[in-house]
Amino acid sequence: MFKNALSILAVLVFSMSAFAKGGTVVGDGGHSVICSFEDGATTIELFDVVQARDRFQFGVFDTAIFWDTDQSIEMILRNLATLDLGHAQEALRESVTRAQAMSGLVTEYETLPYTQDVITYDRLPAGCELKQLGITREGPDRIGVSVLKSDWQRLDDPHKAVFLLHEALHFQIRDPEAVRQIIGYVIAPVFFQMQNRAVVEKIFATGQSVMWDEFVH
Ligand SMILES: [Zn+2]
């Protein structure tokens, strides 16, 4: 069992180094949720968005569909500036700024390796699956963001903005669940953000995720 897991890991590491030379992978990569319907139609969303909606039980991005990617990041930054998040405020601002810079570093590829299978989520709706959307690598002198062309081009701009923020947050926080909780917080309605300032401050202070029900909603 353990040996099997090791050899799978070895294959993953090999295929990833063959994919892009140099640099180390930052975070767990971004994942999308693809849902298929009986009539053959499919939808694509970021996993972070799907999870936030499922855990927090509210709509996200309802009003943002007309923004382009850079405007979406800008709006996130502006919204955050109105919150008083203590130490988390500066940390978040740093990640949003990094996401803005990373928006110019995206390269589309026909195929992507699956970075990790650390995500186990038993609450995906029927007919939906997780898929690798992007991988960020940090080299000695540059950052590269690789995305899966076919899915990236179908994704709307607010989702692209959230993907970039997810990748940027991983430069500060390793825990994938903690990153997704911060993303959920960032895209939540203002009343939710006001109510949960202490929770997000705690996540930034510890670098660890909290229990999802610690969020007040
Ligand atoms: Zn992640």
Predicted local distance difference test score (pLDDT) of residue 93: 92
Q: Are 25 and 16 in contact (CB under 8 A)?
A: yes
Q: How far, in Å, from the CA of 172 to the mean position of ligand 1? A: 11
User: What distance in angstroms lies between residue 93's CA and the mean position of ligand 1's atoms?
Assistant: 18
pTM given for the model: 0.84
Using the mean position of ligand 1's atoms as its centre, give its distance from the Cα of residue 170 in Å. 7
Q: How many C-beta atoms lie closer than 10 Å to residue 177's C-beta? A: 16
Q: Which of 182, 32, 183 is nearest to 121 (CA)?
A: 32
DSSP per-residue codes, the chain? -HHHHHHHHHHHHHHHHHHS-SSEEEEEEEEEEEEE-TTS-EEEEEHHHHHHHHHH-S--STT-TT--HHHHHHHHHHHHHTS--THHHHHHHHHHHHHHHHGGGEEEES-----------TTPPTTEEEEEEEEEEE-SS-EEEEEEHHHHTTS-HHHHHHHHHHHHHTTT---HHHHHHHHHHHTS-HHHHHHTHHHHHHHHHHSS---GGGS--
- The pLDDT, as a whole number, for residue 172 is 94
Give the chain's residues under pLDDT 70. Answer: 1-22, 59-66, 114-120
State the distance from the centre of ligand 1 to the C-alpha of 57, rounded, in angstroms.
Answer: 21
Cα–Cα dist 187/195, whole Å = 14
Measure 51 CA to ligand 1 centroid, in angstroms: 12
Task: State in Å: Cα 133 to ligand 1 middle.
Answer: 11
Domain positions in the chain: 21-210
What confidence score (pLDDT) does residue 163 get?
Answer: 93
- How far is the centre of ligand 1, averaged over its atoms, from the C-alpha of 140 (Å)? 22
Measured distance CA(107)–CA(132) in Å, rounded: 15
Q: Could you write out the three-class secondary structure of 95-149?
A: HHHHHHHHHHHEEEECCCCCCCCCCCCCCCCCCEEEEEEEEEEECCCCEEEEEEH
* Calpha distance 161→69 (Å, rounded): 5
Res 175: pLDDT? 92
Give distance in angstroms: CA of 181 to centre of ligand 1. Answer: 10
CA 38 to ligand 1 center in whole angstroms: 30
pLDDT value of position 59:
66
User: How confident is the model at residue 12, as a pLDDT?
Assistant: 46
* Cα 29 to averaged position of ligand 1 atoms, centre (Å): 6
Distance from the CA of 168 to the center of ligand 1, in angstroms?
A: 10
